[in-house]
Amino acid sequence: MRVLVVWPPHIPSYFNAGHHLPTFTVAAYLRERGHAVDAIDAGALNYTWKEYADLVFQGGYEAIVVMNEYDVVEGVRRAVDYGRALCPDALLVTAGRLSQQNPDFFRNLELDAVVGSGDYESGVSEVLRWAESGRQADALPGVWLRGPEGWRPPSGAGVWLPATEWVLPDVSEIPYGAYEALYRNDQNRFCGIPDRRELVVQVARGCPVGCSFCDVPLMQGLRERRLSVAATVGYIRDAFTREPFEYVAFYAPTFTLDRRWVSELCSALGDEPRTYPWKCTTTLHHLSEEMVAEMAASGCVRISVGVETFEETADEALPRVKRLAKNRFLKVVRWCRTHKIELNCFVIVGLPGSTPDGTLRTMESIRAEGARVRPTLYTPYDQMHGRMTERELSAFNRQTFVEGYEIGTAEHQPVEYLRLIFDADEYITPSTHRIPTVAG
C-alpha cells in the first residue's frame, strides 16, 4: 500500500525528539513489510494546513496514519478531517501516546482504526493487513475498527514486539535540523542540548518502576525490552557517517535498568575509533559510582534522573525506589561532579502531598549542588475519559493544571505552583561546550 505516516501540524507546548520518533519507526517497520511509505513530521517542520492539504491531496495515499499525542490533539482532529475530505477512499488510522491512554476519544473522529494498545508498529501493520485482505476480520489485537455497524473493540491486548523485530528509522528523513532549532533556547528547559545536533536512539521499551504519573507501563509494559549493544553501536556509527550528528540521546524509560548491558555498551563505545558524546535518562536508584565512572569514560556528558521531590509528605505518590530521594541525590551528584557529567533533575510540580514552598526547597537544594532542575507539572492521566472535548484533553500536555484537579490545600493557588515552572532560570547548559561541533 502507499502510506503516509504523519505527525500533524501544530504549535508544541513541549518538545522531545524522542516522542516524535515513532513517526519514523512506524514508517521503517511498514517499509520492511513491503509498503511504500512517506514519513513527515509536519509539526516540527512548521507546515501550514495548506501544505498538509497539498501533501494529502497529491500523494495518492491508500492509507494515512496520523500520530497522536497529548500536545497535538487538536491537530489530529483537523488532520483526519482533511484526510477524509481530500482523500476519501484512504484508510485513516491513528496511533500514539494519547490513544493508548484514551482510545475512546478517537472513536468520535472520522477514523477507520484506532491503535489502543501494543506497539504502534504492530498495530498499524495489522490494520493495513486487515485492509488489504478486504476488511474481513471481525477484530484485531489492540485495535478498534470501524465497520458498517459501528466500532468493534479489539480482540485482546495489542502486540509488544521483541527488540529483535524493531526497525530503526532512516536518519535522512528525520528533520533533525528542525529539532536542533527547537532545542536552541536553554530557557525552554527542553531535553536536547542547545546548539548541537542530536541523534536519538531508542534502546529500550517498558519499565518495571511503576510511577503512577508515567504512561510508559501502560504503553510499553512492565517488562523491559532492549536493543542489542551491537545493533545500537552499529546504528550510531552508520548515522554519524551519513549526517552531521554531534551527540547521541539514548531514549529509554530507565536507561541503566540493565547494568550488564550498560557496561557492555560503554566498553563497545570505548572501542570505537571516535568518541560519541551521549546522554540518557534513568533513576537515582539505578546508578552506582562504578557505573557513572564507566559511563563518563565512554562519552556520557549528561544524565537525567527523576528526583521528583524531597518532600516526605509527597513520598506516598511515588514508587518505593524513588522515596527519600535526597540522600541518594547527594551521592549521585557527587559522583557526576567527580566524573564531569551534568546531572539534570526532573522535579514534579503539584505532586499530591507537595506544597509550593516544599517544591521550591527541593529545587534550591538541587541548584545548590550545581545540578540542573527541569520542573514538570503533575498530570493525573487517570482522570481522562472518552467524553472529553479537544480542549479538555489538550490540558493534559503538562503546561497548566487539568480542570477539576485538586492540588495542595486551600491556601495555595495554582499560580504558586506554576511560577516554579515558568519563572526565568539563568542556568546555562555546560554539556554544550563538552561536545565538539562537526566543523571543529
Phi/psi at 279 (nearest 5 deg)?
Answer: -140, 165
* H/E stretch holding 394: helix 390-394
CA gap 305, 366 in Å, rounded: 12
Q: Which class would CATH give 183-378+409-434?
A: alpha beta
Burial 80-114 (b: 16+ CB within 10 A, else e): bebbbebbeebbbbbbbbbbbbbbbbbbebebbbb
Query: Which one, of 439, 438, 429, lies nearest residue 184 by Cα?
Result: 429
Fold for domain 2-152? Rossmann fold (3.40.50)
In this predicted structure, what is the pLDDT of residue 408? 54
CA gap 281, 297 in Å, rounded: 17
CA gap 75, 66 in Å, rounded: 9
User: Is residue 259 within 8 Å of 226, Cβ to Cβ?
Assistant: no
In this predicted structure, what is the pLDDT of residue 410? 57
User: Is residue 24 within 8 Å of 6, Cβ to Cβ?
Assistant: no
SS3 per-residue string spanning 317-371 = HCCHHHCCHHHHHHHHHHHHHHCCCEEEEEEEECCCCCCHHHHHHHHHHHHHCCC
Q: If the chain, 440 residues long, is cut into consecutive pieces of 10 residues, what is the mean pLDDT of each piece?
A: 97 90 98 98 97 97 96 93 96 96 95 97 97 88 93 96 97 96 86 94 92 82 94 98 97 96 98 97 96 98 96 87 91 98 95 92 97 92 88 86 70 86 91 86
In this predicted structure, what is the pLDDT of residue 382? 84
In this predicted structure, what is the pLDDT of residue 232? 98
In this predicted structure, what is the pLDDT of residue 64? 98
CA-CA-CA-CA dihedral for 253, 254, 260, 262, to nearest 10? 80
Instruction: Give the DSSP letter string of 259-283.
Output: HHHHHHHHHHHHTSSS---EEEEE-
User: Is residue 138 within 8 Å of 152, Cβ to Cβ?
Assistant: yes
In this predicted structure, what is the pLDDT of residue 51? 98
Q: Where are the domains of the chain?
A: 2-152, 183-378+409-434
* Contacts for 405 with CB less than 8 Å, ≥ 6 apart: 380, 383
Phi/psi at 120 (nearest 5 deg)?
Answer: -60, -45
Grid cell 501550514 in the structure block, residue: 48
Does the CA dihedral 296-301-304-309 come out positive or negative?
A: positive
* R_g over Cα of the chain: 22
Query: Which one, of 97, 6, 94, lies nearest residue 45 by Cα?
Result: 6
Max CA separation in the chain (angstroms): 65
Query: Which one, of 338, 332, 261, 258, lies nearest residue 297 by Cα?
Result: 338
In this predicted structure, what is the pLDDT of residue 66? 98
- Against a cut of 0.85, is the pTM above it? yes
